[in-house]
Structure 1
């Protein structure tokens, strides 16, 4: 990461997933990274987006290990015990929509709330979350996937709003939503079909390159893995 100061500190939430794990691995291999920690359900401290208090507790536990130059939230839910992506309105259920928002919106929003204040002052820092291009309202041409689309669109609004607030206290910070593309992962495997997919390590490499190029004036934006700025 050429844009971060030498000896930077990084934190990855969701490293048990394919993309999060690949991001963590590449940051560990970066000689400029002095500290790289991961958070998830099986780490100590643990973070579980189904248990919101765990996010605040983890942030409190790690306060003395900061400040952080890079915080990545690499979590997401497309399907699960509550159901699959909806094809039509009649497939909607309150349970599945609530579960989608818990993981895709509320959890990342609380991660921003508790870890953004721990970003480094007076030097470059980045807080990025994994969103999805299907969360773009302007790009929605196919319909369907109501809960996933809506929860990612809501996440994008959280990112945009947080960037405005954070610019007042951390003028060198960048807050960004990132679209990783179609990646070979447990999340995308059931729905990949004939789409072109890429290894998680390639997606992680591309996302870190995008992050490296973002400037403070880009804060609050929505970016694809190839550097393209996406519509809200």
Structure 2
């Protein structure tokens, strides 16, 4: 595991760095003079076009292949090891982006993007097993325990494990914003269309965990602000099959989404409370 040794003051961490939105966030961070170091984390090696003086990549296997406690424990232990290895930059982190998520698999592709054309869902991605075939459920009969568990593992458990181990790492005097890619379909109060059972439920659970974690972070890492972020419908190669019904002007580039998120950061109030915000910076009802 290649861990950075640079004692930079302003460090940004991008988790789930292989996703389209994560890559765009990285580009924006690389152009930000205030960011002195960028750490990307994904399940495989990635190459970014930026000076190695400010960029360090970490490969971390946080998949939960198979079933049972052993797979979950392996992923959790790997995440814990990464956070422990980063202890030299404790309190120097200003931004964390958790970009993991999963909705479906298409043509057995290893990386899949999530997208909901009816409710402006955004693409996010997480490496999956080729044998896993997922599709958003349109009716109750489409639900299977295995597919629902798989979606929850990616959308809920993995981000939560990062929040679990990041709390000690981000604690310090320097203000830190943790942004977690969520989705408007995770809003219980705004659910008017139904369907997409596993994805909706996994994002609703994620939102609850973010909101609950913020209460504990307020005690243990008072310098930190947690955000559940709905990016809107984002144009990526893997989202193209779902773009036919996207209203005109509602299909965003990943670069635009990244710019919007970082602009939102500039006006964030550090009040030790979690917020659920969309790409415009508007509040989404939990």
TM-score by length of 1: 0.92
Moved more, 85-94 or 50-59: 50-59
Structure 1 vs Structure 2 CA RMSD: 1.7
Aligned pairs (5 A) from 1:13-92: 13-43=15-45, 44-50=58-64, 51-67=75-91, 68-80=93-105, 81-92=132-143
The corresponding residue for 2:258 is 204
Distance across 1 between alignment mates of 2:231 and 2:272: 18
Q: 2:187 aligns with which of 136, 143, 161?
A: 136
Structure 1 residue 209: Cα displacement: 1.2
Q: 2:14 aligns with which of 9, 12, 15?
A: 12
Structure 1 residue 117: Cα displacement: 1.6
1:216 and 2:216 aligned = no
Tell me if structure 2 keeps the 8 A contact 1:45–1:61: no
Distance across 2 between alignment mates of 1:187 and 1:163: 32
Secondary structure (helix, strand or coil) at the match of 2:36 reads strand
Structure number having the greater helix percentage: 1
Tell me if structure 2 keeps the 8 A contact 1:174–1:218: yes
**Deviation digits for residues 23-79 of structure 1, max 9, x if unmatched?**
111111111101101000114342424333321121122221333221110111010
Structure 1 residue 171: Cα displacement: 2.3
The corresponding residue for 1:93 is 144
Structure 1 residue 7: Cα displacement: 4.3
Tell me if structure 2 keeps the 8 A contact 1:129–1:176: yes
CA 1:64 to 1:100, structure 2 compared with 1: closer, same or farther past 3 Å?
A: same
Secondary structure (helix, strand or coil) at the match of 1:12 reads strand
Q: Which runs of 5+ in 2 are unaligned?
A: 1-7, 46-57, 65-74, 106-131
Moved over 4 A (4+): none
Q: Which runs of 5+ in 1 are unaligned?
A: 1-5
Moved more, 21-30 or 56-65: 56-65
Secondary structure (helix, strand or coil) at the match of 2:40 reads strand
Moved more, 59-68 or 132-141: 59-68
Structure 1 residue 166: Cα displacement: 0.7
TM-score by length of 2: 0.75
Secondary structure (helix, strand or coil) at the match of 2:14 reads strand
Secondary structure (helix, strand or coil) at the match of 2:271 reads helix
Distance across 2 between alignment mates of 1:54 and 1:188: 30
Moved more, 43-52 or 132-141: 43-52
Q: 2:173 aligns with which of 122, 127, 142?
A: 122
Structure 1 residue 15: Cα displacement: 1.3
Distance across 2 between alignment mates of 1:28 and 1:146: 37
Moved more, 54-63 or 177-186: 54-63
Distance across 1 between alignment mates of 2:81 and 2:140: 38
Q: Which has the higher contact order (CA 8 A, sep 6+)?
A: 1
